[in-house]
Structure 1
Amino acid sequence: MAIGKRDRDRLGTGTPQGSRGAHFRPVGSADACGRAGEPTLGGAPVRRGGRRPLKRAVIVAVAVLAMCGAGGAVAWFGVQDNVLNTFTRGEIKPSIEETFDGSSTVKQNVFVKNEGTAPAYMRATVSIYWEDKDGNQLWESPVENTDYEIKWGVISEDGNPRWIEGKDGYYYWSVPVGANEQTGNLIDKATQPGTIGDKRLVVDISTQALQANLSASEGFDKVWSASSGLAVGVDGVLVRK
């Protein structure tokens, strides 16, 4: 099951109105900023007698361009910023970690790690059996303390966190495992004293994960509670029903 977040910013600029070049106006028409101008002769204001006040014309022209430029800048740099958040389920990815010596007679420090992005409840099974030289499982079962020795990890009926053996034979880690976090050891060490003919001892560990922050209709109590005999208690800790 997958939680992801995606942020997207969309930037849009305001659209400046009108062109930014020079304008030629007939006498008495509105100027570039939309105001009515003075009567002109050849594009410059005139006084009675036909004399052109050149200095004043330059000052007015500069003022008009400055005001229009300021208004244009405000419109041009107007933007809007939208953030879109999409929430999806997080990923859970259990991984079995262990140390296995070169002689293949000792398995130790077996635990489960959550390599996903969301907290999850973890459960694991341990299967111990014989197989022949071709990898086929044999019907005969190995005998503990005779054919192999095993020292379990934090499996108990009290204290937290810990492994709890459910009614279904799975071992459940009693608290949710966060992203990139791990359980305590399920097995501290499993050893085979020696070899017996062509038979090989196999200690097989498998694991499953269930996202912890699901709704009541699809979380632990709905999916695993009936088979395990466990339920989610205070602060998400698993307890026997």
Structure 2
Amino acid sequence: MESEQTADLIRTQLRRIRTAAGLNQEELGRRANYSASTISAVETGTRPLDKAYVKRMDEVLDTGGLFESLLRMAERDGQPSWFRPWLEAERNATQLRYFNPTLVPGLLQTENYARAVLRFDDTKPEAEVERQVAARLERQEILVREHPPQVIAVIDEAALRRTDAIMAEQLAHLLRMADLPHVHIHVIPADAGLHVGLSGPLALARLADGSWVGHIDNQLGGSVVNGDEGVATLLTRWEGVRGLALPRNLSGALVKEVESQHGPQ
């Protein structure tokens, strides 16, 4: 996989820059507050790379953020080919719209919730699950960057009322995200009955030039929608689900009510 090739590149550059700085693994470990065995495990590939580690190496080795940039490349390259155009649209959007009738949208998932969702495929190796979890959390950084997009998420009440133990944490996270001025969370109440959104999730990204890119999921993966007719259909479906959803303040109150039913965290 391309992500593995990029990860190999990061490890090679870690060794090269450490050596050029005149540091052995033990000396670098002391400066970075990692053990020499951890440094060795990362450089040989027996320990996976993670953001905290490469950020610390950037600081200690004064690389100007090289390793963090390479790690982002590795995570993007590891995404399925059908998903990469949507990731590009998501990163460059001025406004993002998400609807899901059964799950919390990925951009608003906690780590534990994302891990549970990604484990739906029980044939997936644990290392692959963890890589995908890291990539999903990386996507969420657009919410806290200097100039974030406006995010409007519509979620069906049924998605909030799962009884899994991780839901208390997830609901608390939704409330924190809803406190951000650019994040709008709306809930379709259960008494809305049958509606057009039950045919499946959708996402829309509005780009700086005013154009729209859509994305839809299915059991085999997903597909990007960028043709005029397809985008127009998704925009119409979006208006349908948005029109059924509660206002922002009432949606927040409903999320708090559901959260309270889980008891103290």
In the superposition, the TM-score normalised over structure 1's length comes to 0.20
Relative to its length, the structure with more helix (as a share) is 2
- Name the larger-Rg structure: 1
Higher strand share: 1
